[in-house]
Structure 1
């Protein structure tokens, strides 16, 4: 009798552990399965790790949220749109980015933006920012995108970047020259401190992205 009870207890424990291990919080099971079918098992594991990272981050202080999301996506390999998507410019959805395990600067910024939105960071505090990146000891400027977080309106934002992977205030990033920024609700002329709202976000690439999300 004791042996039967022990076996029953072990089976119940295994079922409970399996249920907990397979639980997802920020993605449906059907979506997860479709990612597995489209991109493979490794992609499914990446998305599950992303889901777990968001779950452990959602009640953390803002700097921990920013760091966890920034660190997670910065582990994904950089690849230009021309090599990866065979297009001059393509803004991938977060699941396309995680699914294919590669992307360029706007893909990092977009994935970080939507991930932070999922764990409660207000849209008004986040902007995807188009900048000119200048390498040290070089006159060459490269188009680049980063995510910026504003703790208060018109404050100096924190930069989430895939080149310099540490969180830094915009005023500490002398290698970046902000041009414009945007989120779901608007478009701004960007500065390292403060900004001027231009109007609604009518960027074609953004609209195309939102149609695929």
Structure 2
């Protein structure tokens, strides 16, 4: 079922300032390919990361989404639980954004939209990108998990034997979208160990 009965499915995409801006950008491509409506919000720090890592600005990013909202626009559609969406992915998710959501002290549209997902019992996936973690980070991870979010660090799956960074990114995002029941064709499904690799009894 879509965001409003049989309507087209909608996913909110948040891009915050952690390294790994490629995850947010590629997620927008995969959602479009899957016919899912994307609603995008980007933090100020993320704009710096996009420029540093991908040589992209907001003018390059906006056309990839069906709707774009400034992070300061607290009155945007995605700030209200009455705006029907299927969920939200923050890709990547900075520790600052994680901490705002963990405490409920939402000072931006990005963290407010995430808070809305939790209060409305909608799926929120947070691709937290930081390492190593100290105890405060771990407590925040536990707090958002207790509140109903799914913490999904972008850890590569080497069993899929990615040949390129693009394959590695797509496989990770395909698994994220599996959590919403959205098929991308990007996941190499595990079907058990090949017979030739089995150890004899």
* TM range, smaller chain: under 0.3
Structure number, greater radius of gyration:
1
Give 1 or 2: higher helix fraction: 1
Give 1 or 2: higher strand fraction: 1
